[in-house]
């Protein structure tokens, strides 16, 4: 029996989104078929209205340090840091705490309000490295008030709890892609390994940041699948990355995304996840190019600023000019040494340019 066609009622979708209710799986799949200009305009307008209802004119700005690079034993087809592939990615051991703090302060001065320490490897278990992260996190919190984040692989609950006690608020760990496509991209750990890390962070009350990379060969249906899985996990923030194929990796010749694809993905995720933070991260410039300013109209409420892990980002001034031109304001971080993992809804937010109330 043929399934009835789903009619997208944009007024109803907007009203539900503004109440915090995401669209259904069938509605999400119906959005995949949209291509006419008037259909896409309705999609952008609805996504923008839902974003504004929950996020106002605030934009989350995040930055990262590639704290430890290369020689990773994991085989992830998109990643130039894997030891399984021959690439030009930098290779070095863990930076010292002083260097990480200096990088965080430089990012702060460029407009970044959440700073993440990212380290290559399956999971950080080395005592010296953990102590470096703890020292850096505590100092960054004390001297800048920035929201602190780390992306350290498949961390255990005990390992995360130790970092949380030093002041770590957020844990980043991407699912990378849908469960049904994961084995095509990652060969050395399972999808459930990824999920367990997110669940461990959530069980501690930590702010969880998890999303994926688009353009790796997954179908549009698998993009919906990932969105629904993230909704089920109830993550707080969803980084949306668009593949920037790296020479030497299995995906080096994978060039499939258009700027319109990227905007459509952003809008889809806003309507599935109306209250969550959607942060546009890697591959923004190379995939969206002159349409980067449209990410907020499509529903995003955050951007990664500065450099990415192994590729250069654009100058911070360009992003600050973009935000100003769109009438958007950087969301300040927590202002005081708050208890670890204070939820975003209860943070005091200032409004001036330095994030000081």
pLDDT in tens, 23-80: 999 999 999 999 999 999 999 999 999 999 999 999 999 998 988 887 787 778 778 7
Which pTM does this prediction carry? Answer: 0.91
pLDDT computed for residue 4 by the predictor: 65
pLDDT computed for residue 350 by the predictor: 34
pLDDT computed for residue 227 by the predictor: 97
Cα–Cα distances in angstroms (integers) from residue 284 to residues 32, 191, 290, in the given order:
21, 25, 10
The CATH number of 51-343 is 3.20.20.70
pLDDT computed for residue 175 by the predictor: 94
Q: Any idea what DSSP says for residue 312?
A: -
Tokens 């930590």 map to which residue? 206
Q: Kindly give, in sequence order, each residue whose CB lies less than 8 Å from that of residue 150, ignoring residues fewer than 6 positions away.
A: 116, 117, 118, 119, 133, 137, 163, 168, 170, 171, 172
Say what angle helices 259-272 and 220-233 make with each other, to 10 degrees: 30
pLDDT computed for residue 343 by the predictor: 36
Please, what's the b/e burial string for 24-43 (b: 16 or more CB within 10 A of its CB; e: otherwise)?
ebebbbebeebeeeeebebb
pLDDT computed for residue 310 by the predictor: 54
Give the Cα separation of 334 and 63 in Å (integer): 16
pLDDT computed for residue 162 by the predictor: 94
Question: Is 285 strand, coil or helix?
Answer: helix
pLDDT computed for residue 341 by the predictor: 34
Positions in the chain short of pLDDT 50: 1-2, 335-357
């Amino acid at each position: 029996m043929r399934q009835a066609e789903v009619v997208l009622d944009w007024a109803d979708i907007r009203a539900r989104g503004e109440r915090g209710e995401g669209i259904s799986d069938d509605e999400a799949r119906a959005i995949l078929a949209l291509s006419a200009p008037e259909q896409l305009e309705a999609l952008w307008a609805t996504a923008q209205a839902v974003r504004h209802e929950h996020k106002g004119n605030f934009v989350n700005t995040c930055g990262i340090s590639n704290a430890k690079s290369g020689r990773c034993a994991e085989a992830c087809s998109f990643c130039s840091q894997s030891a399984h592939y021959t690439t030009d990615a930098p290779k070095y051991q863990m930076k010292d705490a002083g260097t990480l703090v200096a990088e965080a302060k430089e990012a702060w001065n460029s407009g970044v309000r959440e700073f993440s320490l990212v380290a290559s490897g399956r999971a950080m278990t080395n005592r010296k490295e953990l102590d470096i992260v703890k020292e850096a996190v505590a100092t960054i919190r004390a001297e800048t008030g920035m929201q602190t984040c780390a992306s350290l692989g498949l961390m255990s609950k005990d390992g995360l709890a130790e970092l949380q006690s030093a002041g770590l608020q957020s844990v980043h760990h991407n699912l990378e892609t849908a469960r049904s496509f994961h084995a095509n991209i990652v060969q050395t750990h399972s999808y459930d390994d990824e999920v367990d890390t997110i669940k461990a962070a959530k069980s501690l009350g930590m702010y969880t940041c998890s999303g994926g990379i688009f353009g790796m060969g997954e179908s549009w249906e698998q993009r919906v699948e990932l969105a629904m899985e993230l909704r089920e996990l109830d993550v707080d923030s969803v980084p949306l990355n668009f593949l920037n194929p790296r020479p030497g990796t299995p995906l080096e010749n994978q060039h499939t995304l258009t700027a319109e694809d990227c905007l459509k993905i952003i809008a889809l995720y806003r309507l599935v996840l109306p209250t969550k933070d959607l942060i546009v991260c890697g591959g923004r410039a190379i995939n969206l190019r002159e349409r980067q300013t449209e990410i907020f109209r499509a529903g995003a409420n955050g951007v990664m600023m500065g450099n990415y892990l192994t590729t250069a980002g654009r100058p911070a001034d360009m992003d600050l000019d973009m935000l100003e031109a769109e009438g958007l304001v950087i969301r300040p971080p927590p202002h005081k040494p708050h208890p670890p993992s204070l939820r975003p809804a209860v943070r005091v937010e200032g409004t001036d340019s330095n994030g000081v109330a």
